[in-house]
Structure 1
Amino acid sequence: MSGEGRERRTPRPQGRRPSGQSSREGRGSVRRGPVRAVQPARRVAYDVLRAVSETDAYANLVLPPAIADAGLTPQDAALATELTYGTLRRLGTYDAIIASAADRPTDGIDPAVLDALRLAVHQLLATRVASHAAVNESVNLVATTSGRGASSFANAVLRRITRDSGEGWQARIEEQARSDDERLALRTAHPVWVIRALRRALAAEGRGDELEALLESDNISPEVTLVALPGLAEPAEPRLPYAPTAFASPGGDPRRSVEASGGTVRVQDEGSQLVALALAGAAPIASGERWLDLCAGPGGKTALLAAIALEHDATLEANEVVPVRARLVRKALRAVPGDIVVHEQDGRALAASRPGEFDRILVDAPCTGLGALRRRPEARWRKSPADVAELVPLQVELLSAAVDALAPGGVVAYVTCSPHLAETTGVVQEVLRARTDIVELDARAAIADVSMSPIDLAVEGRSGSGSAQLWPHRHGTDAMFLALLQRPSTENTSSGKED
């Protein structure tokens, strides 16, 4: 099971396809009437939106190769990126506007047409693109993919939207809200259930007044950050404030820096670096230690831990249950000398088969990914409370299995890229209640010890918990959660679990 870059996904319901309409429309395979020219950047953005809608693709994985395949100039690539991510971030708000302008719910609009309308509304209300260009190009998109009848409908809806400003449409849809949370959801483009979960997580730290700042930060494109693998590369300027391995991208395509380094420099959020560094720094490293990354895909944290292990004569193993992601882990590890074993097993089974063997274990658990909405904005529209209910038992089982695989004195880091309390402190407390053979360490202190600058990690409201929560609005990182559990060197108590 893997955590980094992978969330459990629930397909977001799409609009109904009118009777007789091809299931392949919107992918450029069915064209009616004359083919009309569409500006390449808009076409790329539209194709990515269709992939996200139809196949549950993630834009951050689909967009770069789409830009490369289209041969876009840097200027057009920047436009395609803004159109794609901007549209996905505010999808729920744009759907409310479209429904009002079309005088019908969006599930009554063909999905291929709906994605073109969403793209157009973003241009009309949130960019400096000229209204006539946004309308004409979008109508051409619909004519190309869905036919003249659909393009006439799109034209009518978009002309209606151009009659008012973004502020006017925002006020109009907020007037229809049934609660303050629904009004906030329309204004900040977050589902109501996500807003409530984030509010509770902030309130647990005594910082509920930061909710709107957090929601706003989710809608701002994050800066590209890089990691220099310790002992194999040196971080360049400008440095980031916390992780000693982290630095900002110098601009342009970051893949060039990665390729030039042979993989010793990688794209990685500073929060991801901090939690891995905290595990490595939680206790002095002894030569010969054995480490395990239990949920390794796609391998970013694995590579960082592997480099640190190499510096200290420790041995790292990795595990990833999904074969394609296991291949990504192996690719990430190519830059680190040595033969690092990558298993392809259910993490629970692997840990159960290796009792008492490992000195440090990273459990970067599968989660809802609500802490990475800046990077994967479409995730907010895919997830539901049902995902949390499904994931929590798995998270508990993975962490419990990891504890069983700890050697005396060993430390396990439980990490999620979600601040949802059920996935974070809830999981940790459930595991702690079931056992008497582990103690919780101070994860806040562990992060502070590896940080180059003072870091504001809230204590209020976390009585009895040593966990740490990073936040995009406060730290400029993804909302990474970290808890550290240790099996004491001298065990005078027995496990609360049956053998």
Structure 2
Amino acid sequence: MADAPRLAAYEVLRAVRVDDAYANLALAQVLRDQRLTGRDAGFATELAAGTLRGLGLYDAVIDACLDRGKVKPRVRDVLRLGAHQLLAMRVPAHAAVSATVDLARTRTGAPSAGLVNAVLRRVGEHDLAGWVDRVAPDAAADPIGHLAVAHSHPRWVVAELASSLGDRAEELSDLLAADNDPPEVVLVARPGRSDPSELPGEPTAFSPYGVRMSEGDPRAVPAVAEGRAGVQDEGSQLVAVAAAAAPLEGRDERWLDLCAGPGGKAALLAALAAQRGARLVANEVQPHRADLVRRALAAAEGVEEVTTYDGRRPPWAAGSFDRVLVDAPCSGLGALRRRPEARWRRQRADLADLVPLQRALLDSALDLVRPGGVVLYATCSPVLAETAEVVADLTGRGELEPVSLEVPDAAGPIPDTIQLWPHRHATDAMFAAQVRRSAG
């Protein structure tokens, strides 16, 4: 029988491939179902997530080791798991091969075990750098293609990230490498309900409410279990902080999170609103994500209601809000550390649908905010089509103003905007632009 952590990792890969599951949700479910904790859960997590990050490179290596061109998808999943152990984990080669052969017998049938054994022995003949030299395009002749294979990103993603870096394209390799680093767990102390000193770990560099956990299960932290704190990337925290920080003249009583799912930013915004006597409306068009928002806000003060309207056509009157956050649906290419499967699912063609949606949501937000009020537009993507190109032309409806965040080396692609980066700030690659609605 295969051991439980490898079985769990295989089930995650299968759920992602067959059911289009989100890896983090599939992993959490599998760990619960198989009652894995501690080191076993950690091994299964690194094996599943690391394999999904390295999928492109591992497939190229596997193809180079096959006598015949194709294997069944479930056998390929087993081979991918074996390749990750051999090339990127501290698992002795004999143990990686033997345990993965056992996994093949258990999950893909005895006839596949010989193939898995033979291919993995060939994989083990070279280390990761040696395989990159063998399977990646020549770096001088095709630099984008080389980086795409070496860092296991689709070629179009590498090209978009290179454009987003602009005149700092020499950082591209560092950015791609950072995408492949497992992210630290970051906690947020919701102001007025908890304090960062309650949370285990080191304070975050930029968010006054964040703490980086070095080890342990965040669900075991009392403030998290009680909903007074939560798990939230520092970049996401900073977006909520910026949305609340812009100076306003006149009333500051009613705030809107137009695209609130799954609720992390809304929970922090609600806490900040409560401290000022303001109220937050949290809107999320998808009912199942709206349920997640309700759960995140269940014990929060400062909440007016959770709604499920299409943010492009909401029912509120023009000028109903003093502040609006538009954390727009996007490609998610800024969160590849935490969503290892996303790089293989997204296509460049997706931008043709996403960008008009982003423009429409920003337009709607500018209708909903009062004259003199502020809209913060944010995406978890550095892709220029989703960031600079969405906010560059406001056609007289508002003025870009500097985002109220003091984060070094975070200038955005156009003046007054902010762009965070995994390799510079250890955050998701969040973009933020602040727009003050014109009085006219």
Q: What's the TM-score bracket when you normalise by the shorter of the two chains? A: over 0.9
- Please report how far the alpha carbon of residue 286 of structure 1 lies from its aligned counterpart in structure 2 after TM superposition: 6.0
Cα deviation, residue 176, structure 1: 7.3
2:105 equivalent in structure 1: 143
Q: Which residue of 1 aligns with 2:179?
A: 218
Structure-2 residue corresponding to 1:249: 213
CA pair 84-43 structure 1, distance change in 2 beyond 3 A = same
Alpha-carbon spacing, 1:259–1:279, altered in 2? closer, same or farther (3 Å): closer
Residue number among 413, 421, 424 corresponding to 1:471 in the alignment: 421
Q: Does 1:80 align with 2:44?
A: yes
CA apart distance, 1:288? 5.5
**Which of the residues 342, 345, 352 maps onto 1:379?**
342
> What is aligned with 2:371?
408
CA contact (8 A) 2:270 2:301 kept: no
Q: Which has the higher contact order (CA 8 A, sep 6+)?
A: 1
Q: Secondary structure at the match of 2:196?
A: coil
- Separation in 2 of the partners of 1:473 and 1:348? 34
Query: 2: distance between equivalents of 1:286 and 1:310?
Result: 18
Change beyond 3 A, Cα 1:379–1:62: same
Corresponding residue number in structure 2 for 1:392: 355
**Alignment partners' CA distance in 1, 2:294 and 2:9:** 31
2:35 to 67, 71, 87: 71
Structure 1 letter corresponding to 2:405: I
- Is the Cα–Cα contact under 8 Å of residues 333 and 340 in structure 1 kept in the other structure? no
Residue pair 1:287, 1:313 contacting (<8 A) in 2 also: no
Match of 1:3 in 2: none
CA–CA distance in structure 2, aligned partners of residues 176 and 210 of structure 1: 19
Q: Aligned residue for 1:121?
A: 83
1:174, distance to aligned residue in structure 2 (A):
2.1
Q: CA deviation at 1:211?
A: 1.1
Q: How does 1:185-196 map to 2 (within 5 A)?
A: 185-196=148-159
Residues 287, 255 of structure 1: alpha-carbon distance in 2 compared, 3 angstrom cutoff: farther
Distance 1:285 1:334 in 2: 31
Q: Is the 8 A contact 2:254 2:323 kept in 1?
A: yes
Question: What pairs up with 1:297-312 in 2 under 5 angstroms?
Answer: 297-312=261-276
TM-aligned CA deviation for residue 487 of structure 1: 1.1
Residue identity opposite 2:155 in structure 1? V
TM-score normalised to the size of structure 2?
0.94
Q: Equivalent residue of 1:247, what SS?
A: strand
Equivalent residue of 1:422, what SS? Answer: helix
Distance apart, 1:423 and its partner CA: 0.5
Deviations 1:419-438 (A, max 9, x none): 000000111124x1xx3131
CA distance in 2, matches of 1:312, 1:99: 59
Alignment of 1:424-443 (within 5 A): 424-430=387-393, 432=394, 435-443=395-403
CA distance in 2, matches of 1:284, 1:325: 31
Distance 1:191 1:428, change over 3 A: same
Report the AA paired with residue 129 of structure 2.
E
Structure 1 counterpart of 2:388, which letter?
Answer: T
Alpha-carbon deviations, 1:432-454, whole Å to 9, x = none?
A: 1xx313111112xx112xxxxx5
The corresponding residue for 2:189 is: 228
Aligned mates of 1:258, 1:318 — CA distance in 2? 26
The offset of 1:89, in angstroms, is 1.0
Q: Distance in 2 between matches of 1:149 and 1:40?
A: 21
**Secondary structure of the corresponding residue to residue 439 of structure 1:** strand
- Asked whether the equivalents of residues 287 and 314 of structure 1 are also in contact (C-alpha less than 8 Å), the reply is no
Distance 1:238 1:176, change over 3 A: closer
TM-score (norm 1): 0.84
Alignment of 1:40 with 2:40, yes or no, is no
Match of 1:135, SS state, is helix
SS in 1 for 2:377: strand
Q: Give the letter aligned to residue 159 of structure 2.
A: R
**Using the alignment, how far apart are the partners of 2:274 and 2:296 within structure 1?**
15
Answer with 59-68 or 177-186: which moved more.
Answer: 177-186
